[in-house]
């Protein structure tokens, strides 16, 4: 009985040590050029002020279940670029989630996301789709940008006006329920 207990304790300690090493700065995989770029870009995006967009996105996704978190989407900027489960991708995601908040990852996406029609980043997308600067976007336009972060091809306001309008109505109902409580 004592021998079994010691073995279980050793296994638990070994697993904890492995997990700690995998997420530590000593892990050589975090020296990967793409990961270093991502973490530096995430740190730089902390200074950006997208408060209105973040507030609306947070209100919507308190009600609607999001397919994946913003940090998971941000880690798609790191190879390997294969589909499906990857232990490497999972370790990168755990490290990013440990060091950055979901809102910081959202800021990164707003700066680097491909909104379609060769528009990289919120600044270019707001000019192209709405003819405005980011800070002049109204609530409907912000919700359209949030939809485009889900799927920029499906919720493209130029190509799929009806789909965008229908989803916009759903988001408006969600926000109205939240504010009326």
pLDDT at 9 over 70: yes
Give the model's pLDDT for residue 130. 94
pLDDT in tens, 95-148: 999 999 999 999 999 999 999 888 999 999 999 999 999 999 999 999 999 999
Indicate if the pLDDT at residue 84 is higher than 60.
Answer: no
Distance, CA of 22 to CA of 19 (rounded, Å): 5
**Predicted pLDDT at 53:** 92
Give 41-79 pLDDT, tens digit per residue. 999 999 898 999 999 999 888 888 777 889 998 888 886
């Amino acid at each position: 009985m004592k021998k079994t207990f010691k073995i279980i304790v050793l296994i638990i300690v070994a697993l904890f040590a492995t997990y700690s090493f995998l997420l530590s700065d000593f892990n050589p995989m975090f020296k990967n050029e793409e990961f270093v770029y991502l973490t530096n870009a995430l740190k730089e995006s902390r200074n950006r002020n997208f408060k209105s967009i973040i507030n609306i996105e947070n209100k919507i996704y308190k009600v609607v279940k999001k397919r994946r978190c913003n940090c998971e989407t941000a880690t798609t900027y790191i190879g390997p670029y294969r589909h499906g489960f990857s232990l490497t991708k999972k370790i990168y995601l755990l490290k990013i989630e440990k060091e950055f908040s979901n809102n910081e990852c959202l800021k990164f996406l707003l700066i680097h996301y491909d909104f379609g029609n060769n528009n990289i980043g919120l600044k270019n997308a707001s000019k192209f789709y709405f003819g405005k600067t980011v800070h002049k976007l109204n609530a409907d336009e912000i919700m359209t940008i949030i939809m485009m972060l889900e799927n920029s091809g499906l919720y493209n306001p130029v190509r799929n006006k009806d789909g965008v309008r229908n989803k916009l109505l759903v988001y408006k109902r969600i926000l109205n329920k939240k504010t009326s409580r």
